[in-house]
Amino acid sequence: MLHIIDDEEVIRDALSWLAQSRQIDCKTYDSAEKFLLALNRPFSFATDGDCVLLDVRMPGLSGISLFDLLASRNLTRRLPVIFLTGHGDVPMAVDTLKRGGFDFFEKPFNDNKLMDRVQEALAQSREAGSNAVILERLATLSTREREVLDLILLGKMNKVIADQLGISMRTVEVHRAHIFDKMQVKTAVELAGLLK
Protein backbone atom coordinates (compact mmCIF):
# COMPACT_ATOMS: atom_id res chain seq x y z
CA MET A 1 0.00 0.00 0.00
CA LEU A 2 1.33 3.43 -0.92
CA HIS A 3 0.55 6.15 1.64
CA ILE A 4 0.59 9.61 0.05
CA ILE A 5 0.90 12.47 2.53
CA ASP A 6 0.72 15.95 1.00
CA ASP A 7 -1.27 19.04 1.94
CA GLU A 8 -2.00 19.86 -1.73
CA GLU A 9 -5.04 18.02 -3.09
CA VAL A 10 -3.87 18.31 -6.72
CA ILE A 11 -0.58 16.57 -5.83
CA ARG A 12 -2.38 13.82 -3.87
CA ASP A 13 -4.74 13.23 -6.82
CA ALA A 14 -1.91 13.15 -9.38
CA LEU A 15 0.19 10.75 -7.28
CA SER A 16 -2.81 8.55 -6.62
CA TRP A 17 -3.57 8.33 -10.35
CA LEU A 18 0.08 7.60 -11.08
CA ALA A 19 0.16 4.78 -8.51
CA GLN A 20 -3.06 3.27 -9.83
CA SER A 21 -1.61 3.29 -13.36
CA ARG A 22 1.01 0.85 -11.97
CA GLN A 23 -1.62 -1.22 -10.06
CA ILE A 24 -0.33 0.08 -6.71
CA ASP A 25 -3.03 0.48 -4.06
CA CYS A 26 -2.85 3.78 -2.24
CA LYS A 27 -4.36 5.91 0.50
CA THR A 28 -4.04 9.67 0.71
CA TYR A 29 -3.72 11.97 3.72
CA ASP A 30 -3.78 15.77 3.74
CA SER A 31 -1.65 16.00 6.88
CA ALA A 32 0.96 14.10 8.86
CA GLU A 33 -1.42 14.09 11.83
CA LYS A 34 -4.09 12.16 9.87
CA PHE A 35 -1.49 9.60 8.81
CA LEU A 36 -0.42 9.15 12.46
CA LEU A 37 -4.04 8.52 13.45
CA ALA A 38 -4.25 5.80 10.78
CA LEU A 39 -0.89 4.36 11.84
CA ASN A 40 -2.19 3.87 15.38
CA ARG A 41 -5.30 1.96 14.23
CA PRO A 42 -4.93 -1.83 14.13
CA PHE A 43 -4.92 -3.48 10.68
CA SER A 44 -4.48 -0.14 8.90
CA PHE A 45 -1.48 -1.27 6.95
CA ALA A 46 -0.91 -3.90 4.30
CA THR A 47 0.74 -7.22 5.03
CA ASP A 48 2.30 -7.19 1.56
CA GLY A 49 4.27 -3.99 2.10
CA ASP A 50 3.83 -0.27 2.62
CA CYS A 51 5.62 2.82 1.40
CA VAL A 52 5.20 6.47 2.39
CA LEU A 53 5.41 9.33 -0.12
CA LEU A 54 5.89 12.30 2.16
CA ASP A 55 5.82 16.03 1.45
CA VAL A 56 8.60 17.75 3.40
CA ARG A 57 6.79 21.03 4.14
CA MET A 58 3.22 20.95 5.39
CA PRO A 59 1.25 22.99 7.90
CA GLY A 60 1.25 21.49 11.39
CA LEU A 61 3.54 18.49 11.71
CA SER A 62 6.15 18.68 8.93
CA GLY A 63 7.26 15.73 6.85
CA ILE A 64 10.66 15.78 8.53
CA SER A 65 9.03 15.68 11.99
CA LEU A 66 6.81 12.76 10.94
CA PHE A 67 9.86 10.94 9.59
CA ASP A 68 11.64 11.51 12.92
CA LEU A 69 8.65 9.95 14.74
CA LEU A 70 8.67 6.91 12.43
CA ALA A 71 12.44 6.54 12.88
CA SER A 72 12.10 6.77 16.68
CA ARG A 73 9.64 3.83 16.50
CA ASN A 74 12.03 1.85 14.25
CA LEU A 75 9.43 1.82 11.45
CA THR A 76 11.47 3.14 8.53
CA ARG A 77 12.37 -0.36 7.19
CA ARG A 78 8.74 -1.50 7.39
CA LEU A 79 7.49 1.91 6.17
CA PRO A 80 10.18 3.22 3.79
CA VAL A 81 9.81 6.97 3.27
CA ILE A 82 10.29 8.74 -0.05
CA PHE A 83 10.39 12.49 0.44
CA LEU A 84 8.84 14.94 -2.02
CA THR A 85 9.59 18.63 -1.91
CA GLY A 86 9.27 21.76 -3.97
CA HIS A 87 11.86 23.47 -1.78
CA GLY A 88 14.52 20.79 -1.42
CA ASP A 89 18.13 21.48 -0.91
CA VAL A 90 21.09 19.14 -1.09
CA PRO A 91 21.96 19.20 2.66
CA MET A 92 18.33 18.33 3.60
CA ALA A 93 18.29 15.42 1.13
CA VAL A 94 21.63 14.08 2.32
CA ASP A 95 20.58 14.36 5.97
CA THR A 96 17.28 12.49 5.50
CA LEU A 97 18.95 9.72 3.50
CA LYS A 98 21.68 9.31 6.13
CA ARG A 99 18.98 8.97 8.78
CA GLY A 100 17.15 6.19 6.92
CA GLY A 101 14.99 7.91 4.31
CA PHE A 102 14.53 5.71 1.25
CA ASP A 103 14.81 8.47 -1.36
CA PHE A 104 14.30 12.17 -1.98
CA PHE A 105 12.58 13.69 -5.04
CA GLU A 106 12.30 17.36 -5.89
CA LYS A 107 9.09 18.61 -7.57
CA PRO A 108 8.63 18.44 -10.51
CA PHE A 109 9.80 14.83 -10.59
CA ASN A 110 10.07 12.15 -13.26
CA ASP A 111 6.90 10.03 -12.89
CA ASN A 112 8.50 6.76 -13.97
CA LYS A 113 11.57 7.12 -11.77
CA LEU A 114 9.38 7.94 -8.77
CA MET A 115 7.10 4.93 -9.30
CA ASP A 116 10.13 2.67 -9.87
CA ARG A 117 11.47 3.76 -6.47
CA VAL A 118 8.04 3.25 -4.89
CA GLN A 119 8.01 -0.34 -6.16
CA GLU A 120 11.52 -0.89 -4.77
CA ALA A 121 10.43 0.54 -1.41
CA LEU A 122 7.38 -1.75 -1.36
CA ALA A 123 9.67 -4.74 -2.01
CA GLN A 124 11.91 -3.68 0.89
CA SER A 125 8.86 -3.31 3.12
CA ARG A 126 7.61 -6.80 2.22
CA GLU A 127 11.03 -8.25 3.04
CA ALA A 128 11.20 -6.38 6.36
CA GLY A 129 7.67 -7.56 7.21
CA SER A 130 8.45 -11.21 6.50
CA ASN A 131 11.69 -10.98 8.51
CA ALA A 132 9.73 -9.51 11.42
CA VAL A 133 7.26 -12.43 11.30
CA ILE A 134 10.13 -14.96 11.41
CA LEU A 135 11.71 -13.14 14.37
CA GLU A 136 8.35 -13.12 16.18
CA ARG A 137 8.05 -16.88 15.68
CA LEU A 138 11.62 -17.45 16.90
CA ALA A 139 10.86 -15.39 20.01
CA THR A 140 8.15 -17.90 20.99
CA LEU A 141 10.71 -20.73 21.30
CA SER A 142 11.98 -21.73 24.73
CA THR A 143 15.72 -21.83 25.46
CA ARG A 144 15.77 -25.63 25.09
CA GLU A 145 13.79 -25.44 21.85
CA ARG A 146 16.40 -22.96 20.50
CA GLU A 147 19.16 -25.45 21.38
CA VAL A 148 17.28 -28.24 19.60
CA LEU A 149 16.60 -25.91 16.64
CA ASP A 150 20.32 -25.11 16.27
CA LEU A 151 21.17 -28.82 16.17
CA ILE A 152 18.36 -29.58 13.71
CA LEU A 153 19.77 -26.87 11.43
CA LEU A 154 23.17 -28.58 11.64
CA GLY A 155 21.49 -31.73 10.26
CA LYS A 156 21.74 -33.74 13.50
CA MET A 157 19.43 -36.70 14.00
CA ASN A 158 17.18 -36.95 17.07
CA LYS A 159 19.43 -39.57 18.74
CA VAL A 160 22.52 -37.34 18.32
CA ILE A 161 20.61 -34.28 19.61
CA ALA A 162 19.45 -36.29 22.65
CA ASP A 163 23.03 -37.40 23.42
CA GLN A 164 24.47 -33.90 22.98
CA LEU A 165 21.84 -32.24 25.20
CA GLY A 166 21.63 -35.07 27.74
CA ILE A 167 17.88 -35.59 27.24
CA SER A 168 15.74 -38.49 26.04
CA MET A 169 15.01 -39.05 22.37
CA ARG A 170 11.28 -38.73 23.14
CA THR A 171 11.92 -35.25 24.63
CA VAL A 172 13.77 -34.25 21.46
CA GLU A 173 10.79 -35.45 19.38
CA VAL A 174 8.42 -33.33 21.50
CA HIS A 175 10.69 -30.28 21.16
CA ARG A 176 10.98 -30.85 17.40
CA ALA A 177 7.17 -31.01 17.08
CA HIS A 178 6.79 -27.77 19.09
CA ILE A 179 9.46 -26.04 16.98
CA PHE A 180 7.80 -27.06 13.72
CA ASP A 181 4.43 -25.95 15.05
CA LYS A 182 5.67 -22.56 16.30
CA MET A 183 7.71 -21.88 13.16
CA GLN A 184 4.78 -23.08 10.97
CA VAL A 185 6.79 -25.61 8.96
CA LYS A 186 6.36 -29.34 8.32
CA THR A 187 9.94 -30.48 7.67
CA ALA A 188 13.54 -29.72 8.66
CA VAL A 189 14.21 -28.70 5.05
CA GLU A 190 11.36 -26.16 5.20
CA LEU A 191 12.74 -24.89 8.52
CA ALA A 192 16.23 -24.47 7.06
CA GLY A 193 14.79 -22.62 4.05
CA LEU A 194 12.86 -20.26 6.31
CA LEU A 195 15.92 -19.41 8.41
CA LYS A 196 18.59 -19.24 5.70
Lowest mean pLDDT among 44-48, 166-170, 171-175: 44-48
Higher pLDDT: 73 or 119? It is 119
- Which of 39, 41, 42, 112 has its CA nearest to residue 81? 39
Average pLDDT over residues 159-172: 94
pLDDT of residue 2: 93
Q: Angle CA(51)–CA(117)–CA(18) in degrees, nearest 5?
A: 80
Residues 6+ apart with CB under 8 A from 86: 57, 106, 107
Lowest mean pLDDT among 14-18, 96-100, 118-122, 128-132: 128-132
Q: What pairs with residue 5 in β-bridges?
A: 29, 54
The Cα–Cα gap between 107 and 87 comes to 8
State the average pLDDT for the chain: 87
Tell me the domains of the chain and their CATH numbers.
2-128 (3.40.50.2300), 140-195 (1.10.10.10)
Radius of gyration of the chain (CA): 22
DSSP notation for 133-165: HHHHHHHTS-HHHHHHHHHHHTT--HHHHHHHH
- Identify the band that residue 88 occupies on the pLDDT scale cut at 50, 70 and 90: low
Average pLDDT over residues 120-137: 81
Lowest mean pLDDT among 101-105, 107-111, 163-167: 107-111
- DSSP-derived 3-state class of residue 37: helix
Per-residue pLDDT tens digits for 25-76:
999 999 999 998 888 776 556 556 889 999 988 899 988 899 998 888 878 8
